[in-house]
Amino acid sequence: MFGLNAKDMRSLVFVALLLVLAPILLNPFPEGSPLAQFNAGYPDLMQRFAIFGIFAIGFNILFGLTGYLSFGHAAFLGAGSYAGVWMLKLLTINVIPAIIISTLVAGVFALLIGLVSLRRSGIYFSILTLAFAQMAFALAASVLTPITGGETGLQTSLNDPRILDGARESSNIPTPSLFGLEMGDSWQLRVGDWLWTFNAGYYICAIVALIGFYIAIRIFRSPFGLMLKAIKTNQNRLNYTGVSTRPYMLACFVISGMYAGLAGGLMVSMDPLAGAERMQWTASGEVVLMVILGGAGTLIGPVLGAGFIKYCENIFSKINKSVLEGWFSVFPDGMADFMVAIVYPFVGKGWHLTLGVLFMLVVIFLPGGLVQGGQKIGSWVTGRGRKKSAGAATTTPAE
Amino acid sequence: MSGFKMNRRGLLKTSAAVGAGLAMPTIFTSAARAYTNEPSGGSVTLGFNVPQSGPYADEGADELRAYQLAVEHLNGGGDGGMMNTFSSKALKGSGILGKKVEFVTGDTQTKPDAARASARSMIEKDGAVMITGGSSSGVAVAVQALCQEAGVIFMAGLTHSNDTTGKDKKANGFRHFFNSYMSGAALAPILADNYGTDRKAYHLTADYNWGYTTEEAVRNSTEAMGWETVAAVKTPLAQTDFSSYVAPVLNSGADVLVLNHYGGNMVNSLTSAVQFGLRAAEANGKQFQIVVPLYSRLMAQGAGRNVAGIFGSTNWHWSLENVAGDRYAGTNAFVQSFGEKYGFPPSQAAHTVYCQTLLYADACERAGTFNPCGVVEALEGFEFDGLGNGPTLYRAEDHQCFKDVLVVKGKENPESDFDLLEIVDVTPTEQVTYDASIFGGELGSCNAGT
């Protein structure tokens, strides 16, 4: 179906189900229970899962297929964000132009940066992209303040022209919508103690993410994708045989940048504010972490990695001292204090520490990322009866 | 192998079918609430969104302490603090409208993006009915817009830019803290008295909306009395080393350096300026001077001896009632209960967020509801006293508080670690009041969400 083989179809269906059922899957604990702290099924975080999933999928097309490590992908996300907010300000509050234009703007931006950066490969390419991204950040944060809002960020406001929307009716800033369906609209479903929130904005992100995932599969399986893998394997040999690799690389870089721009456009469609810090190098580093953590070069890995990191960021960082004290209050006093002291550095502000430790463990023991972990568990479960096919069952990710 | 995979798929299909089956008979409960996050049950959740990292982390930590104290007092614990001196007596120490006050915290990182994400998760996940805090105007403006959109009340914390209740004002947002305009208006006469009217000023300005309006306000009010502005240089908010910005000052022909910096920025830039010998220098035949428009005790503590003799303005200081009399009642009550709990006096950031929490709770009590529109109505034009700043008005036109402004000076011989600022003058409200329309912007109408 859709020109996919059975295995890819299964991945697509798997991702589709994950996306559709996310509001239920992410809220496994009943409301009001102590474990409700770990529920992630609220609109903001679900939107982030889908958006950063798109970002990571796009990054993986570049890094996973060609092995070119870009350290400046956040610049495209930022460029897309600013373009998106300007569309919401100038054209219409409908999110469609914002999403389309932000993708295109990021594509043009990627073309310009790609033309220069792709003259080099390896570490030099990484440094060039990093330099461009930092330049973009500095521009956004101070030089281009009239266009980007500087450190304050760019927001929609009451007296924006919005030429396609006609005269404004209410005295409040309109919220981004899709033909009247506001991104913040949610339906809540209560089953027993569980409360599930189905959010319009999230499902739009999810649909776009699914389309993005499908396109990524097609690119992976196309002759174009094969050429990209060949570049990763041995670019020199390709050049010697007379194949010009640059157009392929440039196309790949632009596609990857457009994914990032799309993510940026969706981000501002969900929450119409673009801040300069989303272009900073730490943001570029984050997407590298997502892809490596999930499994570079695999189809589903980046999505898992993105979800994993965003979950840590939003859930662990909200566990503060009083929450910990609540958990450990069953222990005797001294013991409870001791446990709090041990755990506290790893949650709240210290969630980066937890992430760092997990990242190290993954890189050391599962070089193929979470996907390899899943495969290991899978082959362990199925391979116990028939030990023979342990090697055949693990498909080595195209690391 | 394939058999297993079919099973997994089958399992997923089944779970999808079960999910759909569960969904079928249940009615979607959209818009069952009268307003966003209407509290159900015996408690109400407030969201405290403060910087726990970045240049304003010290202020954030102190704000969090004050919030915890305010919650304790609202729930009837402790000695009641300023609830005893507050002119409105609606609060009884039994929570708000009989509901126990609970709170969630978040880290703004002093970045608008992160602050909004944190505020959104408080509203969507934790059901916060009011968001408060912040120690940066960039963050305050961003979060205020979010709260307006989501239909919850935003009680601004430490934000001093004119924009918060000026060009970016919102119907659901309220600010107790003073602003750049008031600082300029209060400082200018004192500066003229002490440094004369023919000075040349050099501004270093934090590169975001607070820096801009503060620079503008100080420029306007000092130029009006005859000062000249030689140059104004913007510095990035995340900057920690200001030596390259301070170095050119002495040769610029200026004889006053105005540091439109706050928190960690100000501590670092002032230290740099002192290390470069600016305070000992002479320019244009006059002693070189440094001015810090917005001062706080936490900053003075960070900068140590360097603050001695430097003028600035502040919203509140813990010694106010002792120095300026019982017009500022409430100050001592607050300092005492804060000091008892934490062992040191509160900063102006702690004071303003404590007041904001009490003012919100009181408005809910008087309105008889948590509905943002009811709260807005109760707060607009509200006149109160006994919260440490003397008689205060919450102006209806822009949701800005109007009260006396303090001009302070770094003490030459501090008696303790906390006794670093000396109150030079208390500028009366009339002198810092301005017309609500001068900064533009539109309040809009209150939004209660779905």
Tens of pLDDT, residues A102-132 = 999 999 999 999 999 999 988 999 999 999 9
pLDDT at A385: 54
CA dist B5 and B8 (Å) reads 5
User: What is the total count of domains within chain B?
Assistant: 2
Alpha helix segments (H runs only) across A91-199: 95-117, 122-138, 145-148
Q: Which of B120, B142, B444 sits opposite A172 (nearest CB)?
A: B444
Choosing from B361, B379, B402, the residue where a domain stops is B402
Which amino acid is it at A353? L
Question: What is the rounded radius of gyration, in angstroms, for the C-alpha atoms of chain A?
Answer: 22
Summary mean pLDDT of chain A: 88
CB-CB neighbors (< 8 A) of B442 in chain A: 158-159, 171
Residues A150, B208 contacting (CB under 8 angstroms): yes
Strands B43-50, B130-133: pairing kind: parallel
Is the predicted pLDDT of residue A201 greater than 70, yes or no?
yes
CA dist B32 and B26 (Å) reads 14
**Are B212 and B308 members of one domain?**
yes
Best mutation target, B8, B9, B24, B120, to test chain A (most A CBs within 10 A): B120
Within chain B, which residues score under 70 in pLDDT? 1-33
Give residue B147's domain range: 43-178+320-402
Best mutation target, A20, A46, A172, A182, to test chain B (most B CBs within 10 A): A172
Residues B142, B112 contacting (CB under 8 angstroms): yes
Boundaries of every domain in chain A: 6-318
CB A20 to CB B16 under 8 A?
Answer: yes
User: How far B208 CA lies from chain A's nearest CA (Å)?
Assistant: 5
Q: What percent of chain A has pLDDT over 90?
A: 47
ipTM of the complex: 0.84
- Asked if residue B145 is part of any domain, the answer here is yes
- Lowest model confidence (mean pLDDT) among A32-36, A291-295, B74-78: A32-36
Choosing from B297, B314, B331, the residue where a domain stops is B314
CA dist B59 and B134 (Å) reads 9
pLDDT digits (tens, 9 = 90+) for A218-249: 999 999 999 999 999 999 999 999 999 999 99
Q: How far is CA A134 from CA A234, A263, A286, B7, B238, in A?
A: 30, 19, 15, 49, 14
A/B interface, count of CB pairs below 8 Å: 130
- Asked if residue B7 is part of any domain, the answer here is no
**Are B82 and B55 members of one domain?**
yes
pLDDT at B13: 63
CB-CB neighbors (< 8 A) of B149 in chain A: 172-173, 175, 184
Q: What is the mean pLDDT of residues A311-321?
A: 82
CB A152 to CB B112 under 8 A?
Answer: yes
3-state secondary structure of B424: strand
| Six token digits for residue B78 | 């402790």
* Banded pLDDT at A169 (limits 50, 70, 90): low
**Are B202 and B172 members of one domain?**
no
Q: Which of B124, B234, B447 sits opposite A172 (nearest CB)?
A: B447
pLDDT at A153: 84
Q: What pTM does this model have? A: 0.86
pLDDT at B9: 62
Of A154, A85, A134, which Cα lies nearest the Cα of B138? A154
The CATH number given to whatever domain includes residue B73 is: 3.40.50.2300
pLDDT at A386: 57
pLDDT at A325: 78
Beta bridge partners of A178: A181
State in Å, rounded, how far the first CA of chain B is from the last one.
50
* Banded pLDDT at A50 (limits 50, 70, 90): very high
- Asked if residue B412 is part of any domain, the answer here is no
Angle ∠(A163,A167,A170) on CA atoms, nearest 5? 120
pLDDT at B26: 44
CB A188 to CB B107 under 8 A?
Answer: no
Q: What percent of chain B has pLDDT over 70?
A: 92
CB-CB neighbors (< 8 A) of A188 in chain B: 28-30, 32
pLDDT at B31: 46
- Asked if residue B161 is part of any domain, the answer here is yes
* Banded pLDDT at A351 (limits 50, 70, 90): confident
pLDDT digits (tens, 9 = 90+) for B392-439: 999 999 999 999 999 999 988 888 888 888 999 999 999 999 998 899
Among chain B residues, the shortest Cα distance to A171 is held by B444
| Six token digits for residue B192 | 């003229």
- Asked if residue B56 is part of any domain, the answer here is yes
CA dist A185 and A183 (Å) reads 6
**Are B174 and B187 members of one domain?**
no
pLDDT at B17: 60
Exposure of B190 in the CB half-sphere (CA atoms within 13 A): 25
Determine whether domain A6-318 maps to CATH 1.10.4040: no
Q: At what angle do helices A369-383 and A301-315 cross, to 10 degrees?
A: 110
CB-CB neighbors (< 8 A) of A280 in chain B: none
Question: Which residues are CB-neighbours of A308 under 8 A, at least 6 positions away?
Answer: A290, A293, A294, A370
Task: Identify the burial level of B161 via C-beta atoms within 10 angstroms of its C-beta, where 0-12 means exposed, 13-18 middle and 19 or more buried.
Answer: buried
Q: Which of A153, A191, A317 sits opposite B138 (nearest CB)?
A: A153
Of A74, A45, A58, which Cα lies nearest the Cα of A277? A74
**Are B87 and B73 members of one domain?**
yes
pLDDT at B283: 87
- Lowest model confidence (mean pLDDT) among A22-36, A263-277, A322-336, B211-225: A322-336
